Amino acid sequence: MINRFQLKKLPTLEACQWNGVNVEEMNAFLGGNGSVKGRYVEIGVLDVSGKPTVSNVSVGNYAVKHEDGSYAAMTASDLFQDYVLAD
């Protein structure tokens, strides 16, 4: 039997790398969903049980925005393991 398959639409995300000095860029990216606190960026997120919590982004890592509008923190290694740059 021959079956035809097509790729499912992969989720995409936008990411902003925190380098320790791009405060204005990061605050604009987060749009009120987080803020720079000293050397870290704090993002309001939901944990696995759906309760509000805070996620911290350290220098060299990323704040990401998913297609559904939710935000998260992601290490650089996790980002590049699971995603590639879009054209």
- pLDDT tens-digit readout, 4-46: 655 556 778 899 999 999 999 999 999 989 999 989 999 988 8
Report residue 69 as tokens.
């509008």
- All structural domains of the chain with their residue ranges: 13-76
pTM of the full predicted structure?
Answer: 0.80
Return the H-helix or E-strand segment holding 27: helix 23-30
* Alpha-carbon gap, residue 72 to 57, rounded angstroms: 9
* CA distance readout (Å), 75 to 35, 72, 82, 84, 85: 17, 10, 11, 14, 15
